[in-house]
Chain A
Amino acid sequence: MMERLRQIPRDFRYLIALGVVLAIVPLLLNQFLLSVAIQTVYWAFLGTSWNIMGGYAGQFSFGHAAFYGIGAYTSTVLLVDYGISPWLGMLVGAAFAALFGLIIGYLSFQFGLKGHFFALATFAFAEMLRLVSTELEIVNTSVGIHIPPVGGDSWSKMQFENTPEYYFYVIALFLIVGLFITIIITRSKIGYYFQAIREDEEAAAALGVDTLRYKIYAVMISAAMAAIGGSFFIQFFLFVDPSLAFGVAISIGVLLRPIVGGVGTIWGPLVGALLLSPLAEFTRSFVRTPPSFLSFIEGRAGVDVMIFGVILIVIIIFAPEGVAGIAPRLWRRYQTGRDVDEKSKETVAA
């Protein structure tokens, strides 16, 4: 058994271990902590989606809310107006988001948008969708859509009022699949091409990489995953409106996790989410009921955002590769340090 395990590549072993941990976690948590855990895994999943396009392929998205919101609205409208199960609805949403990614990717890249300009374009597309949705009847304009609660657990409606652990297991499964896809990508041609494009597009093209095509692939994969995250969250929250779906809070939240954890690394988005999401949740509940000497912050919005800002600045200055980026380096340094110690011991012994 151990022999078998050892033959599995390292990242897959980590993934199995993560699966085991995620299976146990909900058993240990109270209601509040479970909700924190759901948010954490959910943001890790969204960060994993962003990471494929922004991290591996190097196409920085500042408008991931566009894809997220398409997913959120598609599954919601299909459920509320047509009675279609969100499980199916989220796949349709993923397909729509991928199609939207194909269109904006083609438009942006064909016109040579790169770096900041591409990031701004993605932001503009998300804002455009937000504005359009405030006027659009089919999504109930700026009023938003409530998903009628079924009052209990229903797998087909993806609602788990009695057993919120199921929400956790659903999003945990998505995260595992998302990470699995990421690992497969990094080990295959498409992942090598993504990274080559990120590092030097001209050199990649000279080696036969169809850069336009592969950049669009990255956007489409990333978009489909973000849309599924959007569908999930609305099923959890049971309400969607234009700013929840397409707001800048999503776009920023999505890229913050990988940037803090480590852009273009498999585990970076998860590490980032583990650091930031609990922090956000605790800050929010702290601000709701602060101790008496801090009563002036009671009910103030945005404290979590301020803390995020500070963390982001610290990370960018001290660890631009992110936490998952520096951790292996520190670990190696620690290990080589130990090796040297052992070698010097051996020399002494000899």
Chain B
Amino acid sequence: MSLLIVENVTKRFGGLVAVNDVSFELQEGEALGLIGPNGAGKTTLFNVISGNYLPDEGRIIYDERYDITGLKPHRICKFGIARTFQIVKPFASLSVVDNVMVGAFLRTSDTREAERQARDAVEFVGLGTQADIPASSLTTAGRKRLELARALATAPRLLLLDEVMAGLTPTESVKIVELIRQIRDERGVTLLVIEHVMKAIMSLSDRIAVLHHGELIAIDEPSVIARDEGVVEAYLGKEFELADD
């Protein structure tokens, strides 16, 4: 079943076409990687799906039934689509667990229940020992995990992850990859993952979509993508060896 259908989506900023006539389908339970050079339009596509931007053309269909194009972000979240932000947005003065409780309150109005769920999510992403410190005192890696925990606390069916590994050390990245895999395998959450770390995205994804200048130039299994001439030329280039080792 297609959980998400992106249909001929185009988003322009003035004369710049950030996303150009992009279409693809995301199967329930699938992990789809989204790669492409800087400025390819990956984050913009996320913003269209999550309701932060209205597309100039095209539609977003959720669960084969709902046309969610142009709905407000909070309504899209309620449908079960959660996202993280490439530039992290912690609620700085709130504690880590209070940050995550905001997400948990989407599905319950009971404060204790929200706290219980939030602590679970905080524990799950490995921030257990920092649950009660202010979010502002987290490291970059900690903030990325917080983004993840908050999104998870909304109990999503579809999770959009925008470069949750950027700025992390290789060891930290490995741990996050493991977490993301668990989110899919144990919780059955469908994933759309933007990532520049090739090794991670290749091992994590069932399929990979490649954006270039706003256009979808390829979408296929990781092994096929790694051999695709157009993709190697447009993007993988020298980073290609990374995917192979």
Contacts and interface: CB of A to CB of B under 8 A. Distances in A.
Interface stretch (B21-29, B93-101, B124-132, B180-188): B93-101
Interface residues of B, number: 29
A342 interface: no
B74 interface: yes
Interface in B81-139: 82-83, 85, 89-94, 98, 101-103, 105-106, 109, 111, 114
Contacts of A204: 91, 102
B72 interface: yes
B82 A193 contact: no
A188 B103 contact: no
User: Chain B CB within 10 Å — which of A187, A203, A211, A264 has the most?
Assistant: A203
Contacts, number: 77
A204 B83 CA distance: 11
A192 B102 CA distance: 6
Contact of B77 (A188, A192, A208): A208
B10 interface: no
User: Chain A CB within 10 Å — which of B85, B89, B106, B151 has the most?
Assistant: B89
Given A188-B111, A196-B91, A206 B73 contact: yes
A189 interface: yes
A324 to B, nearest CB: 14
Interface string A305-331: 000000000000000000000000000
Contact of A195 (B82, B94, B103, B153): B94
Contacts of A193: 102, 105
B84 to A, nearest CB: 8
B44 interface: no
Interface in B215-235: none
Contact of A205 (B74, B109, B151): B74
A200 interface: yes
Interface string A190-219: 001101100110111111111100000000
Contacts of A199: 90-94
A36 B138 CA distance: 45
B92 A207 contact: no
B150 interface: yes
B136 to A, nearest CB: 10
B175 interface: no
B20 interface: no
Interface in A232-273: 264
Nearest to B112: A187
Contacts of A196: 91, 94, 102
14 contacts: A187-B111, A189-B105, A192-B105, A195-B91, A196-B91, A196-B102, A203-B150, A205-B74, A205-B77, A206-B73, A207-B74, A207-B150, A208-B78, A208-B103
Interface of A: 187-189, 192-193, 195-196, 199-200, 202-211, 264
Given A206-B74, A207-B77, 15 more contacts: A188-B109, A189-B114, A192-B102, A200-B90, A202-B85, A203-B90, A205-B74, A206-B83, A207-B150, A207-B154, A208-B74, A208-B106, A209-B74, A210-B74, A264-B93
